[in-house]
Amino acid sequence: MSDLLFTVKNQVARITLNRPERMNAFSEDMIHSWIKALEQVRDSQEIRVLVISGNGRAFCSGGDIKAMARGEGFLDHEGKNDYASTALDRKNSLWKNVQRIPLLLAEIDIPVIAMIQGAAFGAGFDMALACDIRIAARSAKIAESYVKAGIVPGDGAAWFLPRLIGTDKALDLLWNGTVLEAEEAQQLGLLTYVVDDNELEPFTEQYIEKLKEGPKETMRFMKRAVYQSRQLDLRTSLDMISSAMGIITELDDYQEGVQALVEKRKPKFN
């Protein structure tokens, strides 16, 4: 069976990490399948929400430490084991494999939800940080655990963490590899929602359905504006969003939304 499951049904795409016996640690098959699935989601006009989750008792434990200890890694274009080759090969392997995932997620304009149970450690939690919304079970635990393996955060933590919780807290988590309970992580601003374990799937499904009912193109523009505005000055951000407003007010969903407000009813967006 594949190390990653990908399905699309009722306009919802689901990526399920599927190495439960290894706490969904990365494998070559998983990463390559993940990249292909994200490319399909990015290019689809039908998919409205993407959900990323893990099979079994963990969300994702990140890199497969046991495989790394055996000197195993991904294969390069010549079929060589990158961990057993040069420093440049190892750098290029990160770029061509696991680092493609946060970059592809940044190209996806629909809502992306991480549904987290159990452990989300190291690069596994970084994949959740690259999502828009993080919904976690109360028993979940997270950690930026790179320091315990003597490695740097190669999959996005150095970029995501300071933007979410500030430089000092980001460095504190990275330097100490602290394991956080879900509620602690939420208080820091790393998780969006924390729910009882038995409510994780029902809550997430309800959240998805609500997003599906929204005006798709409007929501795409909102997401892009929020992320791009991180890099922009105020005037440029306002200029960008005014252009989006010009486009959105040409669409049927705008007319439906205004009419529904006037008639005091729930809108039915296309």
The CA distance from 57 to 224, in Å, is 33
Q: What is the pLDDT of residue 270?
A: 83
Q: What is the pLDDT of residues 192-239, one digit of tens each?
A: 999 999 999 999 999 999 999 999 999 999 999 999 999 999 999 999
H or E segment and range at residue 121: strand 119-121
Same domain? For 23 and 148 the reply is yes
| Average pLDDT value for residue range 74-90 | 64
CATH code, 118: 3.90.226.10
Indicate whether 236 belongs to any domain: yes
Non-local CB neighbours of 218 within 8 Å, separated by 6+ positions? 248, 251, 253, 254
CA distance 12 to 129: 20
pTM (predicted TM-score): 0.91
Give the CA dihedral 238, 240, 242, 248, nearest 10 degrees. Answer: -140
pLDDT at position 117 over 90: yes
Residues 56 and 92 in one domain: yes
Q: What is the mean pLDDT of the chain?
A: 92
Q: Is 196 among the domain residues?
A: yes
State how many domains the chain has: 2
Q: How many residues are present in the chain?
A: 270
Strand arrangement of the beta sheet that strand 119-121 belongs to: 119-121, 141-143, 179-181
CA distance 7 to 173: 34
Q: How far is CA 161 from CA 200, 231, 250, in A?
A: 24, 16, 38
Residue 138 lies in a domain: yes
Q: Are residues 101 and 167 in the same domain?
A: yes
